[in-house]
């Protein structure tokens, strides 16, 4: 069972799941360091929350900004004992037609920043003998994703990486968990270029149950949290079915709901 969290650093806290993580952690009395590019929503959230909140504006695709967040995680004063690696984005469309820089920026944020921040936090957490990390992957990480190929691959990386680090820490008082949400009502779909209403409402969760499931699973010491029964069936079903089948099914679903070429 992980130790109680006193201060959490949440990346991507200016919207969606990250903002919800900040609110639900503040409800539990956890002090916060909020990270994202947009300063105004971070400041507005900081003013609203009844806990000690630091705002750290950073573009996680920028190595200098990323280094400042790494330095904050390693600091001994006002130590961070929970890192929520939540910032991320997707882009829908065929690889051949998507902007090259946007695709590499996606890898920078979804993969490189997540690895660097995990690497920055772990030694201090291990030395202090407390705390942990929640890495936000996706149900997209459980099978190949035509029309979202780089995004799905980035989340497959997050899944494999996080489960491996979880195992490296077995028997130690530092806990690392994968959160793999399915479709959730946030700014994610519009940022990714998906038309509003394209994904059926019945397949969409609200942010709060996703975050509450994650915080409860983290407190229980789980390795993986997939919130929502339908998402669990899809994620764990994907592990049992050959990828020749799941990639085809994923292609058909994307063409039907998101609009592949």
Ligand X SMILES: NC(=O)c1ccc[n+]([C@@H]2O[C@H](COP(=O)([O-])OP(=O)(O)OC[C@H]3O[C@@H](n4cnc5c(N)ncnc54)[C@H](OP(=O)(O)O)[C@@H]3O)[C@@H](O)[C@H]2O)c1
Binding residues vs ligand X (CB under 6 A): 12-18, 36-38, 58-61, 86-89, 109, 136, 138, 181, 183-184, 186-188, 191
- List the catalytic residue out of 21, 92, 142, 151: 151
Q: Kindly tell me which of 39 and 167 has the beta carbon lying closer to ligand X.
A: 39
Q: What are phi and psi of 179, to 5 degrees?
A: -105, 120
Ranked by CB distance to ligand X, the top (closest) residue is 16
Nearest distance from C-beta of residue 130 to ligand X, angstroms: 25
Closest CA to 37 of 6, 68, 8: 68
- Residue closer to ligand X by CB (options 18, 146) is 18
Q: Which is nearer to ligand X, 11 or 122 (CB)?
A: 11
> Residue 176 CB, nearest distance to ligand X (Å)?
16
Report, in Å, the least distance between residue 117 CB and ligand X.
Answer: 11
E-strand stretches of 104-258:
132-136, 175-179, 224-225
* 151 close to 91: Cβ distance less than 8 angstroms: yes
Q: CB nearer to ligand X: give 118 or 130.
A: 118
Q: Which is nearer to ligand X, 37 or 43 (CB)?
A: 37
Shortest distance, position 89 Cβ to ligand X, whole Å? 5
Distance CA 60, CA 57 (A): 9
Q: 64 to each of 7, 14, 120, 159, how far by Cα in Å?
A: 23, 20, 14, 26
| Neighbouring C-beta atoms of residue 221, cutoff 10 Å | 12
151 noted as active-site residue: yes
CB of 20 to ligand X, least distance (A): 8
Distance, in Å, from the CA atom of 250 to the CA atom of 256, rounded to the nearest integer, reads 10
Catalytic residue numbers? 151
């Amino acid at each position: 069972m992980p130790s109680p969290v006193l201060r959490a650093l949440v990346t991507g806290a200016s919207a969606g799941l990250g903002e919800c993580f900040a609110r639900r952690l503040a409800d539990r009395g956890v002090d916060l360091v909020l990270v994202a590019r947009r300063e105004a929503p971070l400041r507005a959230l900081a003013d609203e929350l009844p806990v000690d909140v630091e705002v750290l504006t950073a573009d996680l695709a920028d190595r200098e900004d990323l280094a400042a967040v790494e330095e904050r995680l390693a600091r001994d004063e006002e130590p961070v004992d929970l890192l929520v690696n939540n910032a991320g984005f997707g882009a829908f469309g065929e690889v051949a037609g998507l902007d090259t820089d946007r695709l590499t920026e996606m890898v920078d944020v979804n993969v490189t920043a997540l690895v660097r921040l995990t690497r920055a936090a772990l030694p201090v957490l291990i030395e202090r003998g407390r705390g942990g990390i929640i890495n936000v992957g996706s149900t997209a990480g459980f099978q190949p994703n035509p029309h979202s190929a780089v995004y799905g691959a980035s989340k497959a990386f997050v899944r494999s990486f996080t489960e491996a680090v979880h195992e490296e820490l077995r028997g130690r008082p530092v806990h690392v968990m994968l959160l793999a949400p399915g479709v959730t009502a946030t700014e994610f779909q519009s940022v990714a270029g998906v038309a509003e209403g394209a994904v059926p409402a019945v397949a969409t969760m609200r942010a709060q149950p996703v975050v509450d499931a994650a915080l409860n699973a983290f407190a229980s010491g789980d390795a993986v949290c997939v919130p929502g029964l339908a998402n669990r069936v899809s994620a764990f079903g994907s592990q049992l079915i050959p990828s020749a089948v799941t990639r085809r099914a994923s292609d058909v679903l994307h063409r039907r709901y998101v609009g592949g070429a």
